[in-house]
Structure 1
């Protein structure tokens, strides 16, 4: 009987080990278009630069990843609550977020720009924002930058749940200024409404305290084994050419932004 019970326990442990090995790593992302990083087809399937980078990192790290849609404003609580295992959705690394979560090394970094109506006399200085309504997506580095650098000058810093809403109100004249990364903003300026109304007014100075140190994978504090796998995978795809091969399909510049 004793041998039988021990055999049963061993079998159960083996089964548990097999189940653990088969568990998926849940990658949280906000289900909103952000071309060319995230683009949904008619069937709701996502493609784009960041989607391909996620797949490449997971493959290199030998992780069975599953993308899980989560509203942006709830994505960090979802990570902390164990609903997802990591965030890979253009999240800037900064000190404020480091208070509650950990980050991998960066996997890209791009400049942030100011965009306004073609006729607007706006640039990147606080003085030029006097009396202006500035639109930003909530819980982003752009929001933090605007509040820190333009809060005393702007009449309002208006937060939106999605960047698309910022663009819509800018094109409609309901806000005066929008702030966003150059890649996404260029996509807006190529669109019919963006090309008609607006133009870039300049690149903001780099400010790691708000705009962060690049974009990294968000992780729970203490999840060091997963962090090591992700960091190793990012370094490996950079070294073996996979990163460059994916990037050349979407951009004509080095999106990694230097070391």
Structure 2
């Protein structure tokens, strides 16, 4: 019996020494992820004055990585190329205020939401636009960022208006400030943040409206290449954990004076 135990211990030691016992070796390896964001959608993701990637999305992403004890590298990518690049496996996750919609779920997988804020409309302060209905905006030009839920909503709702799509939010803002647009539709938080800057002083938030589930989905989630449920489960657990342990509130309060998470649906 003693000889058998000695031989068994020796065998295990030999396996560990040669690295063949991969289960233990892999368990000790930290999760390494490349996470992409847009970097041009303040206050959610942007390049700050120091040239560093910053914003609510980025801070949430870093908090999730910390909760998962993962080593994460953050990169930027243009919004319109995010889903094709994710499908091609160029990065592991996309954290950039991407709404969880039925159409996108045909192309990528999502975590549970990590925030949900209402859409809104900005227009010049001259008061010519009084509301946010189809009738209020008839005959007006409305700027939106291409391939967003706000673009989809505008095209389906404001059918008596001219909808102009732009690659980035900065571009529609520039045209709105310079009088080349009558209004712009986007997330109400990012619009409000811009309106409080010198560049946005031209305009005001005319109003907001409730998200339409079939267009806007339940909120913004982390996007993944399809077929990795284990990774998604890790992110979902981390989202729940930072909501519980106070880290989410700490990040939230850095940017907002309200709970960006919205109603507890997940």
TM-score, length of structure 1 as denominator length: 0.89
SS in 1 for 2:103: helix
Contact kept, 8 Å, 2:111 with 2:232, in 1: the verdict is yes
Contact kept, 8 Å, 1:116 with 1:122, in 2: the verdict is no
1:78 offset after TM fit, Å? 0.9
Contact kept, 8 Å, 2:30 with 2:70, in 1: the verdict is no
Return the match for 2:124 from 117, 121, 138. 117
Return the match for 2:247 from 237, 242, 245. 242
d(CA) in 2 for partners of 1:71, 1:248: 27
The answer to whether the aligner puts 1:192 opposite 2:198 as a matched pair is yes
Task: Kindly provide the CA deviation profile for residues 209-237 of structure 1, in whole angstroms up to 9, marking residues without a partner as x.
Answer: 12221000001222100000000000000
The answer to whether the aligner puts 1:28 opposite 2:36 as a matched pair is yes
SS in 2 for 1:193: coil
Match of 2:211 in 1: 206
Task: Kindly provide the CA deviation profile for residues 179-201 of structure 1, in whole angstroms up to 9, marking residues without a partner as x.
Answer: 01121111111112322x21111
1:134 offset after TM fit, Å? 0.8
d(CA) in 2 for partners of 1:240, 1:61: 14
SS in 2 for 1:129: coil
The verdict on how the C-alpha distance between 1:44 and 1:19 changes in structure 2, with shifts beyond 3 A counting, is: farther
SS in 1 for 2:260: coil
The answer to whether the aligner puts 1:167 opposite 2:169 as a matched pair is no
Match of 1:139 in 2: 147
Match of 1:153 in 2: 160
d(CA) in 2 for partners of 1:22, 1:205: 41
**Which stretches in structure 1 are left out of the alignment for 5+ residues?**
1-5
**Which stretches in structure 2 are left out of the alignment for 5+ residues?**
1-13
d(CA) in 2 for partners of 1:31, 1:252: 22
1:44 offset after TM fit, Å? 2.4
1:118 offset after TM fit, Å? 1.8
1:19 offset after TM fit, Å? 11
d(CA) in 2 for partners of 1:106, 1:22: 25
d(CA) in 2 for partners of 1:21, 1:78: 26
1:172 offset after TM fit, Å? 0.5
1:65 offset after TM fit, Å? 1.1
* Larger radius of gyration between Structure 1 and Structure 2: 2
Q: Which moved more, 1:17-26 or 1:168-177?
A: 17-26
SS in 1 for 2:255: coil
Contact kept, 8 Å, 2:32 with 2:70, in 1: the verdict is yes
d(CA) in 2 for partners of 1:173, 1:252: 31
Instruction: Provide the aligned C-alpha RMSD in A.
Output: 2.5
Match of 1:126 in 2: 134
